A and B are shown apart, each in its own frame.
Chain A
């Protein structure tokens, strides 16, 4: 098994000790940092996402895999910075105003990082203005909105409208959360819907790839 496949395997197994060790070994063998990231760490997380979507992995397996990925990424980060390698896309994510639920949103943030995004997590109870402000500070490629309650779902539509009114080029918005459905996402003008965290990250990536082309 190549060193990169071993890194991917360490992430898949949630091995927080082995992943960074193998990342260092790969760097010592003069593999480019970007390749270690894409074909090692992110490849592993991509497979984690697939298994989560397919019902083979559950939240515990995803969380420990994410920790292994982050441990490996911490070793890689200075090398990526030196090489000028940055994540291709930035995602802004938050739970909408009036809603304090963060578990689902945190899982989506993890899966977005695993898909190669830089994630700006605005937290919970985020007013529309704060999403707009985040999109003005830097190029943002996708916005993710989370809501747990039927009573806070309407804020998703309000937030989308606010982004469209306030920004010349509003980024696409994906929505998710317990009460949210594809039909609701379509009704409020969201660009995408994530029925689960892994699919949400995949939808975000597809939107960014479509935007690139």
Chain B
């Protein structure tokens, strides 16, 4: 059986027979820059090249490593699409107010979660003054970046995913985790309005992208639903406030035959049955340090759900090929029994995983991931 990437991922998502485990992954920006520099291929580009002419025609690492999936679209979710206002800065960090009126402190030269200093939208009154700004618009998509990627992926037979975020990811950028969590109990009607407004916006942006002709095979939706010790909210609150929005959003993709891959770090196990009911076809990245283990999850859900990830970045960062082989062999063999497994690290490839190790890792995945 020789399949295109598009066929391979589609069959994997449907848990139908296919030739081998598909591949996808994410990299820390430092890792991406390091790999691109070491590879030294002038066709390759990454974030540090973004300001250069012709950047968008450069290949991504995803293409260089021949991953099976390409992400496009990534609509801008900010209330106002403005350059952040710099409030204070040093050589190391910058304090800025962004288009969501959130004041955040970011490292200048490395990736990482920002410091949440304060959030400007901190009351229903302020929300109702700004919610009208969340309008779908062509300006919210970087077409000059994603059209070249979409065309190349189409020509290469890749599985193309509409990439975006779900409501918890969006809302925490506007209200902050703390305000969002407290509002579930203290101001439920307000937070319900916020969630529903963002859901409609996300659906409208998907429709806009589709209407422009950027037709995709699936959806890869990024969320911020859990942390190491569990979901940010109880299953009861998820069911009451978030589930209806997720179901409405994911139904839009399913109506077009597009499967849904949902990303959330952390321990999402209490919510998995709800995700399945909401229409999630595959979950990602399955953080090991949060207790996610595809060997157990496949036993429980393998006939209803696909898995993309769980290869422990802490093991990869040892660059110990024996340990990495054991990690791959143990997890892939368990997950492959149900034919719904896609390779991905359990988070993002950190600095410290050498390019040599990573190349070897992908060869191992392709070898171990072959179905007889």
Chain A positions within 8 Å of B, measured between CB atoms, are: 14, 55, 57-61, 63-64, 67, 99-104, 106, 124-125, 148-151, 178-179, 181, 195-196
Known interface pairs A58-B231, A63-B181; A100-B115 also in contact (CB < 8 Å): yes
Flag if B237 contacts A60 (CB, 8 Å).
Answer: yes
| Nearest A-chain residue to B182, judged by Cβ | A63
Which of B110, B228, B289, B350 has its CB near the most chain A CB atoms (within 10 A)?
Answer: B228
Flag if B107 contacts A178 (CB, 8 Å).
Answer: no
- For this complex, 16 residue pairs linking A to B, each with C-beta atoms less than 8 Å apart, are A59-B181, A60-B181, A60-B182, A60-B184, A60-B232, A63-B178, A64-B185, A100-B93, A100-B107, A100-B114, A102-B116, A148-B112, A150-B313, A150-B314, A178-B289, A196-B228
How far, in whole Å, are A60 and B114 apart by their CA atoms in the complex?
Answer: 21
Q: What is the minimal beta-carbon distance from B98 to any residue of chain A, in angstroms?
A: 15
Flag if A58 contacts B115 (CB, 8 Å).
Answer: no
Known interface pairs A60-B182, A100-B112, A102-B116; A178-B227 also in contact (CB < 8 Å): yes
Flag if B184 contacts A100 (CB, 8 Å).
Answer: no
Which residues of chain A come closer than 8 Å to B6, judged between CB atoms? none
Tell me if B230 is interfacial: C-beta within 8 Å of chain A: yes
Tell me if B214 is interfacial: C-beta within 8 Å of chain A: no
How far, in whole Å, are A36 and B307 apart by their CA atoms in the complex?
Answer: 51
| Nearest B-chain residue to A52, judged by Cβ | B229
Flag if A64 contacts B350 (CB, 8 Å).
Answer: no
The main secondary structure of chain B at its interface with chain A is mixed
Which residues of chain A come closer than 8 Å to B115, judged between CB atoms? 100-102, 124-125
How far, in whole Å, are A58 and B350 apart by their CA atoms in the complex?
Answer: 30
Flag if B181 contacts A101 (CB, 8 Å).
Answer: no
Interface contacts (Cβ under 8 Å), in number, total 78
Flag if B232 contacts A61 (CB, 8 Å).
Answer: no
Flag if B182 contacts A67 (CB, 8 Å).
Answer: yes
Q: Nearest 6 pairs between A and B by C-beta? A: A100-B115, A60-B181, A58-B234, A196-B229, A178-B228, A60-B184
Which of A59, A124, A148, A195 has its CB near the most chain B CB atoms (within 10 A)?
Answer: A59
Q: What is the minimal beta-carbon distance from B134 to any residue of chain A, in angstroms?
A: 24
How far, in whole Å, are A107 and B112 apart by their CA atoms in the complex?
Answer: 19
Tell me if B177 is interfacial: C-beta within 8 Å of chain A: yes
Tell me if B351 is interfacial: C-beta within 8 Å of chain A: yes
Tell me if B233 is interfacial: C-beta within 8 Å of chain A: yes
Which residues of chain B come closer than 8 Å to A58, judged between CB atoms? 181, 230-234, 237
Which residues of chain B come closer than 8 Å to A150, judged between CB atoms? 313-314, 317, 350
Flag if B230 contacts A61 (CB, 8 Å).
Answer: no
Which residues of chain A come closer than 8 Å to B113, judged between CB atoms? 100-101, 148
Given contacts A59-B232, A100-B107, A102-B116, 10 further A-B contacts (CB under 8 A): A57-B234, A58-B237, A59-B177, A60-B233, A100-B93, A100-B113, A101-B113, A103-B227, A181-B289, A195-B229
Tell me if B186 is interfacial: C-beta within 8 Å of chain A: yes
| Nearest A-chain residue to B105, judged by Cβ | A100
Flag if A61 contacts B185 (CB, 8 Å).
Answer: yes
Known interface pairs A149-B112, A151-B350; A103-B177 also in contact (CB < 8 Å): yes
How far, in whole Å, are A125 and B234 apart by their CA atoms in the complex?
Answer: 31
Which residues of chain A come closer than 8 Å to B177, judged between CB atoms? 59, 103
Which residues of chain A come closer than 8 Å to B228, judged between CB atoms? 178, 195-196
List residues 15-31 of chain B with CB under 8 A from any CB of chain A.
none
Which residues of chain B come closer than 8 Å to A196, judged between CB atoms? 228-229
